[in-house]
Structures are given as structure tokens and as C-alpha cells.
Amino acid sequence: MSSPTAAYFVGVDVGTGSARAALVSADGCVIEQSVQEIKTWTPEPDYYEQSSENIWQAICQVVKHVIAGVTNKSQVKGIGFDATCSLVVLGQKGQPLTVSKTGEPERNIILWMDHRAEEETAKINASKHELLKYVGGQVSLEMEIPKLLWLKRNLSQTFNQIWRVFDLPDFLTWRATEVDTRSLCSVVCKWNYDAANNTWNKDFLKAAGLEELSSNNFEKLGSDVQPPGRKIAKGLSQRAAQELGLVAGTVVSTSLIDAHAGALGMFGCRSGESSATDDIQGKMALIAGTSTCHMSITRQACFAQGVWGPYQDAIIPGYFLNEGGQSIAGHLLDHVLKTHESYKELKEKLGADKFIYQYLNGLLPQLALSRGHSEISYLTQDVHVWPDLHGNRSPIADPTLRGIITGLDMTRGIESLAIKYLAFTQALAYGTRHIIENLYQYQRAPFHTLLFCGGLAKNPLYVQCHADICNLPALIPNEQEMVLVGAAALGAAASGHFDSLESASKAMGGTGQLLKPNARTIEFHNSKYKVYLKLLENQREYRRIMQQKL
């Protein structure tokens, strides 16, 4: 498989449910990839816990698989890691410390989507600290500082024994190199690190009730913070190299959060149709899986209420990142599918869920034709959805919001599922439009392209709905695994194969297919978007009415 003179790079991605690795060439082609499931415990609603040792063992398995065909392992010039923004807690000598009420040490990770820290989030936001302007005015309960405060309040024995706390991507680079280096991406996006002054902020930690973390030059949080794409010390340790099947000293890059790695991979993607698509500032990258992250970078800082950032140098040095998101996306559509009465019938008939989605996508045009509609969008003229069943991340930043659906009737069967599925898919796209229009209110430079990767990017209905509803062309990279390409680009930049991370992104981003918006549905979606916003007003009004009765 390998060429005796080629340079290869390994990208490692740890998502919500699995660890993946890919062997990637210098032009961004994924040559080999592998995936391994990881464990998640859900001891009670909104609690999600994982194991750092389980994740590392899964990584070792997938990396060994993808490099098996490389005879000379020294041809692997660099390795990059990305992962979910989950909290990893370690005690002395790097041993796992429990984050679980069960007391099991193995459970030492609070997963990103864990919502246990609601009260702690409210306390931190009540401080109105100056640093909060970098997270749209308030921290999310999915970030790390609220989770650390939860540990202090609820598992004090764990909190008092902390040796190091890591964002999961930084744990992986530490485990690979035995050197404690933190990526600016993780600490500025999820830990309220003060990137403008290049330091942790003692006043913020004190206001958050976590002044203990300021001791000894912030060693528990990590005192060596570097931008993404930087070489870490002497590379792979002897121990990690043996576990991964690579050569000791192989270059290891500072890490990225998983969605940010996908953005890095996609920002360099080109359509070939317009030079405008080469302007990195006009692109919004949607990393669409269990949740969706909406990434965009600008040369000038944009402070937008309800959208995280601007994060300085968080993906590519020299640019500010704004990050929006939806706490559930793919997970929401799975919920709609699996809770419908027709799911069992379709599962028995078609097997895998992906085939059910394909079937529904094929059924919708037939339904539109049978009902006299020229576009499938019109099937939801009377069905409207607010999709935040798990709270709103952006741009409302309210984790207590819940979902709404109007237009229910007595229809049963597969056709009713198809229309409900379409309505929820459209609602996710209206949510993206909501984020975009919010950014425009704060004078962000205009977007000219949406880019898609992740599981939902493989769903043409999801992508077309976004193009139509946002009235922007959608660019789908020909290489589908852009998160892995982004991770590999880290290793390529750190190894010196490219002179910068931006150069690595452009060289490895490849090309993609451009999907244009449907001009015939613009006015229809403008009307439905007005209804979408009205649903938010209605939910707030319902709450005001009910609070008067308490």
C-alpha cells in the first residue's frame, strides 16, 4: 500500500461514541481508516461519563490498524489528535479520579453533553465577569469551569485530589508525549482562558469559586499553552510509540477540539467554480453529527451575544473564531425516527437506520407529487418545529428551552413519519439561519459558502434544507472524513511538511461539490422562518403565564 518515498500523517479523532484514526497523504487523501466504539455510562438523566483509559486503548487499536500497511513506520511524519471537549480528571501519577457518584475510578471523564452543572453555570454567569464577553455573554453548562465547580460542590474528595484536569484533546497529547502542553483551542474555547493576555485569569477563577486552581502557577490547569499545530517536545514517548505501533519521537502536534479539526480540514476546501470560495473568512463550516458546531473565522474580532468567541488563534493563527452550535442534531433526528410508531416496521423491512433515512428521502418527493406540491418543502406548510429538545446552545444560549411542534393531526403510518422528519430537518436549518443572522447583527463579514462534514453531511436532505433556508450554496468536500483530515493536518504542520497550519489546510482540504439553493422556495422559507422565531416568543410567553400560577 505505501510508497517508499511518501510522507504520511495520522489523524486521530475521538467523538462522542467512538475513536477513529486515519492514515492521510500530504494532499489530504484518506488512505486507510478505522473505528472503535468507546464506553459511555449514563447513571441518571443528563449525566454522561466516560473512561480515559478505555479511550486510549481504543486509540491504540485504530492507529495500529491504519498504519499496518506502512512498511517503514518512519514515513509517518506526524500525528494529530482531536476529541470532544470533555473533562478528564487525574490524580497523582496520572491515575484516573472518579467524576461519578458511583465512586468508580474508571469513570474519570464528564462528557461534553453532560448537563449536571446547571446551578454552577448560573452562579458563574451571575458574576458578569469581563471574560464572559468571549463566550457570548455567558458560559455554557457544557464547558469545563462549571463542571469543575460541580465537582468541588458534589465530589469534594475527587476535587481535593486533583493532580491535573485536561480537556480530552490535551489529555491525548499528554498521554502520547508525557509532556503537559495545552492547546490554545481547548483552553480559550472551553476553559475561559484569557487569550488576549495569554494567561489564566485569577479574578475569574475566584469569582467562579475555584480560586484553588490558581495555585502553583495554575499547574492543575496547565501552564504551557500553545497554538494548534505546534510540535510538542520530543514527540511520541517510548511507551506511547510502542502502544501505537509507531516510532518513538514521531512528531506530535498540539491538539484541536473535534469540531474545530473538521473546520480546519474544510476551510481549505475549494469548489473550483468561484474564486470567492477561496476566501476563508466567508465560509461557515458545519460539523454535523450528534450535535452540530458552526465554525467561522474572521480577521477582525466579532463579539456576538449568544455565540461563543471571538476566540483568538483558536484554529488558525491570525484569525478570530466564532462558534455557534446546536446541542442535538443527528441525535434529534434519531429521536424523531426511533420514537415513531412506524420505526419498528421500517427497521424490520430495511435494517440499518441509514437505509431508513434513504427510504424517507425517496418517499418525500412522491408525497409532494401525490399532494400536488411542486417542492417537497411545501409538505410542512402547516407543520412547524422549534427543535431544542435538549436546550439551545446558540444564539439564545438557554439550556432550559425545550421543543415545540405545531400542526399535529390524526395521520398515522410512514407518511406521517416522513413529514415529521422533514419538519425537524428544516428546523435544524432554521436554527443555523438564526445563528447566521445573529452574527450579522454584530457586523460580521458576509458568508458566501456553507461547508459540511460529519454524519449528517451524508444526508442530502439535511444539506439541501440548509442551502435553501440559509440561501447560501453548500460545499460538500469530496473527502468525507474532514475531521480526520484536519487532525492529520495538525501533524503535517507540526512536522514542518507545511510552513503553517493555514498552508496545511489549503493543501489538504481538496475539492468539493457545490449544492446551490433552490430559488423557488426562498419566499416560502422566509415565511416559515418568521413562524420559527414566533415559536420562541410563544415558549417564553407560556413560561411567563405559568410562573404567575406558581
Alpha carbons 507 and 148: distance in angstroms, whole number:
39
Quickly count: other Cβ atoms within 10 Å of residue 104's Cβ. Answer: 15
pLDDT digits (tens, 9 = 90+) for 80-136: 999 999 999 999 999 999 999 999 999 999 999 999 999 999 999 999 999 999 998
Q: Is the pLDDT of residue 1 over 60?
A: no
Q: How sure is the predictor about 276, in pLDDT bands with cuts at 50, 70 and 90?
A: very low
Overall average pLDDT of the 143-153 stretch: 98
Q: Domain range spanning residue 344? A: 330-434+520-549
Q: What are the pLDDT digits (tens) for 34-73?
A: 999 999 999 999 999 999 999 999 999 999 999 999 999 9
pLDDT of residue 20: 98
pLDDT digits (tens, 9 = 90+) for 185-234: 999 999 999 999 999 999 999 999 999 999 999 999 999 999 999 999 99
Whether residue 135 lies inside any domain: the answer is yes
Q: Is 366 a member of any domain?
A: yes
- Say how many domains are in the chain: 2
Give the pLDDT confidence score for residue 2 in this predicted structure.
61
pLDDT category of residue 549 using cuts at 50, 70 and 90: low
The reply to whether 95 and 244 lie within a common domain is yes
**Domain finish residue from 189, 224, 252:** 252
Residue range 465-489: average pLDDT?
A: 96
Please report, for the domain that includes residue 360, its CATH number: 1.20.58.2240
Mean pLDDT on 252-276: 87
Distances (CA, A) of 324 to 128, 273, 358, 438, 488: 21, 27, 28, 10, 24
Please say which residue of 252, 280, 295 terminates a domain.
252
- Across the range 257-268, mean pLDDT stands at 95
d(CA 6, CA 200): 42
Domain final position from 252, 273, 290: 252
Residues 6+ apart with CB under 8 A from 4: 71, 72, 75
| 460 closest CA partner among 523, 541, 371, 376 | 376
Band (pLDDT 50/70/90 cuts) for residue 548 is confident
pLDDT band at 274 (very low <50, low <70, confident <90, very high): low
Residues 509-516, mean pLDDT to the nearest whole number: 95
320-326 sheet: strands from edge to edge: 308-312, 320-326, 292-298, 283-288, 449-453, 474-477, 512-515
Cα–Cα dist 194/202, whole Å: 10
Q: What integer pLDDT is reported at residue 5 of this predicted model?
A: 74
Residues 338, 247 share a domain: no
Residues 188 and 79 in one domain: yes
Q: What is the pLDDT of residues 410-464, one digit of tens each?
A: 999 999 999 999 999 999 999 999 999 999 999 999 999 999 998 999 999 999 9
**What's the rounded Cα separation, in Å, for the pair 393 and 259?**
15
Give the chain's mean pLDDT. Answer: 95
Looking at the structure, tell me whether residues 246 and 131 fall in a common domain.
yes
Is pLDDT of 510 > 50? yes
Cα 414 to Cα 343: distance, rounded to the nearest angstrom: 8
Q: Which of 7-21, 263-277, 283-297, 366-380 has the lowest mean pLDDT?
A: 263-277
Q: Provide mean pLDDT across the span 486-511.
A: 96
Residues, the chain, total?
A: 550
Q: Looking at residue 241, which CATH number applies to its domain?
A: 3.30.420.40
**Does pTM surpass 0.75?**
yes
Is it the case that residue 78 has pLDDT exceeding 70? Answer: yes
